[in-house]
């Protein structure tokens, strides 16, 4: 899977890309990440990519010309045409099903905005898939782009190392429950003990205990994730008179 990122802060991605899980996947040729500095397409001797908004108002707007020309240049590289994503709080909200959809694409081009946003004509001309990572405001799309890359690459075969763990993750399709507690050595720390059932080696009992923990945690914290069937199962039925 190939990722292209268009940003005025390519350096923000460098330490993230240097981490070991990613480096291994990049070295093994399973993924590649290509960083592109928007300023190279400014067409301006001061490398300016933003300007004041028509009609007035606070902040600056990213100009249409650098973005459209950069995207055209990036699209012409490589073999697969990219799926173009624009990171914006106005986009559709990222979720594990959306990540699963994006991870099927051979190539993503992520457009990171800053300031007050992009000139509307960027959206009119490129018709990008506008994505938000949640209902809060970031200073720019870079952190959101890293979230998308990070979530997608763990679905690329061979990147995680342990293929099973991405299927048992909370929110992956076929598992809409939160994960229960996990423990490792020591068995006791400052009076806090590991639940007895996990030490016994009865795998059927362990699986049942984990399923119950998972359901309890989800009911307490995120009942919005439960299906009507799961709620009905856990709701005591009153006897009909």
Chain position carrying tokens 């938000």 = 132
Q: In the numeric block, which tokens belong to residue 222?
A: 């995120």
116 is an active site residue: yes
Cβ neighbours for 226, distance < 8 A, ≥ 6 positions apart: 176, 177, 218, 219
Closer CB to ligand 6GU, residue 144 or residue 153?
144
89 is an active site residue: yes
Judged by CB under 6 A, the residue of 102, 132, 149, 155 near ligand 6GU is: 132
Closer CB to ligand 6GU, residue 12 or residue 215?
12
Distance CA 132, CA 114 (A): 14
Judged by CB under 6 A, the residue of 1, 49, 63, 89 near ligand 6GU is: 89
DSSP state of 217: H
Tell me: does residue 133 bind ligand 6GU (CB under 6 A).
yes
Distances in whole angstroms, Cα of residue 142 to Cα of each of 5, 8, 112, 138, 156 = 9, 9, 6, 9, 21
> Annotated binding residue at 155?
no
* Ramachandran area for residue 228 (φ above 0: left; ψ -120 to 50: alpha; else beta): alpha
Q: In the numeric block, which tokens belong to residue 48?
A: 């300016």
Judged by CB under 6 A, the residue of 134, 158, 195, 200 near ligand 6GU is: 134
Closest distance between ligand 6GU and the C-beta of residue 90, in Å? 9
> Annotated binding residue at 123?
no
> Annotated binding residue at 135?
yes
Judged by CB under 6 A, the residue of 136, 173, 184, 237 near ligand 6GU is: 136
Residues in contact with ligand 6GU, counted by CB under 6 A, come to a total of: 12
The three-class DSSP label of residue 125 is: helix
> Annotated binding residue at 153?
no
Query: Which residue in the list 129, 169, 213, 230 is annotated as catalytic?
Result: 169
Q: In the numeric block, which tokens belong to residue 108?
A: 């993503």
Tell me: does residue 122 bind ligand 6GU (CB under 6 A).
no
Query: Per-residue x/- mask for ligand 6GU, residues 138 to 177, rule CB under 6 A?
Result: x-xx--x---------------------------------
CB atoms within 10 A of CB 189: 10
Query: Which residue in the list 4, 50, 63, 89 is annotated as catalytic?
Result: 89
Q: Which runs of consecutive H residues, i.e. helices, occur in the chain?
A: 14-18, 20-27, 64-75, 96-102, 120-126, 142-153, 163-168, 203-221, 228-234
- 142 and 96 Cβ atoms separated by less than 8 Å: no
Judged by CB under 6 A, the residue of 46, 56, 137, 182 near ligand 6GU is: 137
> Annotated binding residue at 137?
yes
Residues lying near ligand 6GU in the complex (CB under 6 A) = 87-89, 132-134, 136-138, 140-141, 144
């Amino acid at each position: 899977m190939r990722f292209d990122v268009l940003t005025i802060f390519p350096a923000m991605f460098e330490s993230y890309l240097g981490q070991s899980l990613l480096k291994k996947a990049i070295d093994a040729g399973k993924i590649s990440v290509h960083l592109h500095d928007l300023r190279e397409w400014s067409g301006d001797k001061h490398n300016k990519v933003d300007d004041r908004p028509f009609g007035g108002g606070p902040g600056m707007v990213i100009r249409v010309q650098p973005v459209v020309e950069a995207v055209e240049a990036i699209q012409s590289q490589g073999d697969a045409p990219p799926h173009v994503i624009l990171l914006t709080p106005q986009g559709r909200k990222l979720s594990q099903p959306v990540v699963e959809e994006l991870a099927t694409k051979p190539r993503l081009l992520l457009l990171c905005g800053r300031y007050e946003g992009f000139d509307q004509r960027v959206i009119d001309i490129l018709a990008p898939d506008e994505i938000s990572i949640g209902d809060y405001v970031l200073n720019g799309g870079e952190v959101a782009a890293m979230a998308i890359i990070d979530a997608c690459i763990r679905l690329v075969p061979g990147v995680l190392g342990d293929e099973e763990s991405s299927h048992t993750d909370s929110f992956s399709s076929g598992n809409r429950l939160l994960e229960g507690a996990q423990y490792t050595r020591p068995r006791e720390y400052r009076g806090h003990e590991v639940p007895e059932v996990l030490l016994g080696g009865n795998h059927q009992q362990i699986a049942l205990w984990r399923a119950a923990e998972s359901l309890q945690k989800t009911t307490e914290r995120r009942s919005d994730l439960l299906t009507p069937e799961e709620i009905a199962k856990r709701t005591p039925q009153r006897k009909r008179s």
